[in-house]
Amino acid sequence: MSASKPHETHFDGVRVRYDSDKSYDELVAALLADIGEKPVPIDDFSKAYDSWEAYQKAVEPHVGPSGFMLFATLNHGGWITKTGIERKVLRVILGNPLIAITMLRHDVTAGLFAPVELLITDEGAGSSLTYVTPSSLMVVEPNPELLSAAEELDAKFAALAAKVTSG
């Protein structure tokens, strides 16, 4: 089999930052209070349930008030201290397959950016929450149905960010 040449598509992502008067620990706690503190083993559900309806029922109890659930965390603050960077930094991977399907049904490559992720950083006098707007990553070619679904995700994600960072 011969190797094919890659097809490149350039696009611009939109980074959004919410500053908060909350401490880093308070912001992390507020986020986890909404999306859950224990990562949801979403792949296990796909193995255990053989229909979409059964899968939905298994997922729904794990969805937090803002419509998302925790998939994983990466504590960058735990290892960057070894390089002399004394900063709390947490990358959070969150999402909801019941939302993701609204986009993947229009373009499965949107799955490169579903689930979504955000970064919480300690800013000394407060903290911040940063993410890249999902639609700016997912919609790289004209696709009105995908754009519509991704913009709904953008709004839900922005609402979660505003909720957890506010006083």
pTM above 0.75, yes or no: yes
Q: H-type helices in the chain, by residue range? A: 24-35, 42-48, 52-59, 76-80, 97-104, 134-138, 144-165
Say how far apart CA 90 and CA 121 lie, in whole Å. Answer: 7
pLDDT string in tens for the chain (167-residue length): 678 899 898 889 999 999 999 999 999 999 999 999 999 988 877 788 889 999 999 999 999 999 999 999 999 999 999 999 999 999 999 999 999 999 999 999 999 999 999 999 999 999 999 999 999 999 999 999 999 999 999 999 999 999 999 98
Which of 18, 65, 79, 68 has the alpha carbon at shortest distance from 39? 68
Q: Which SS3 state, helix, strand or coil, does residue 128 take?
A: strand
Using CA atoms, how far apart are residues 98 and 102, in angstroms rounded to an integer?
7
Whole-angstrom distance, CA of residue 8 vs CA of residue 1? 21
CATH code matching the domain that covers 15-165, chosen among 3.20.20.80, 3.30.70.120, 3.40.50.720, 3.30.310.70 = 3.30.310.70
